[in-house]
Amino acid sequence: MGQCFSAEVERPPPEEPHIGKDRPVKIIIAGAPASGKGTQCENIKTKYGVVHLSTGDMLRAAVAAGTDVGKKAKEFMDSGRLVPDDVIIGVVKDRLEQDDCVKKGWLLDGFPRTAAQAEALADAGVSADVFIFLNVPDEVLVERVVGRRTDPVTGKIYHMTFSPPENDEILERCEQRSDDTEEKVKVRLEQFHANVEAVKGNYTSIIVVVDGSQAPSEVSEHVAKAIDEKLAE
């Protein structure tokens, strides 16, 4: 007698997503002014292929595209008022749902900035794989900021200790930003610390603290290791 076969074909189980470049990675990074966050964002973007997002860029893009939340944001921006959290969250959520972010993953740069924003982001259904915090002592941050100088001719940024101007002619024309004084930096740092501590409380299960006072290449190694380890959990 012939053997009876079921009409249903047994399908193999779906493959688990691969870790790293083959899987969209969702990252939030936070760091004080002069913590080296910009450099690390570029490195993360290159290594993991994610879409690098800052709130300023997202707001400008939403306004330019004329989306519903973009129109709301424009009303506040045109009148010189701060864009409220609910509008910012709407802009961020819309952006994260676009194809490039869904396919490639994303890197939220310096957002959320407050506990209210972190909670609103969670309420909107947005979650990350890892929260990277670049930890740099205040005295190091102050030294980095106060020593910064900009060449008004080329736009190049120097540091009087770490990367001084090549010659006296450039040195003489270099300028210091008005808010790059020790007093103003300390005020900015106080505000940053007050907000970031509250934000970190919303990401205790995925936070990774990286020593940002090391050389940029060493920080990059630690950041990549932290991301890979978090994704492998």
Which residue in the list 26, 37, 74, 95 is annotated as catalytic?
Answer: 37
> Is 177 among the residues known to form the active site?
yes
> Is 188 among the residues known to form the active site?
yes
> Is 144 among the residues known to form the active site?
no
> Is 81 among the residues known to form the active site?
no
> Is 149 among the residues known to form the active site?
no
Which residue in the list 26, 95, 144, 148 is annotated as catalytic?
Answer: 148
Which residue in the list 71, 103, 177, 225 is annotated as catalytic?
Answer: 177
Which residue in the list 72, 95, 113, 144 is annotated as catalytic?
Answer: 113
CA distances from 195 to 110, 113, 170, 202, 221 (A): 11, 6, 38, 12, 27
Positions marked catalytic: 37, 113, 148, 177, 188
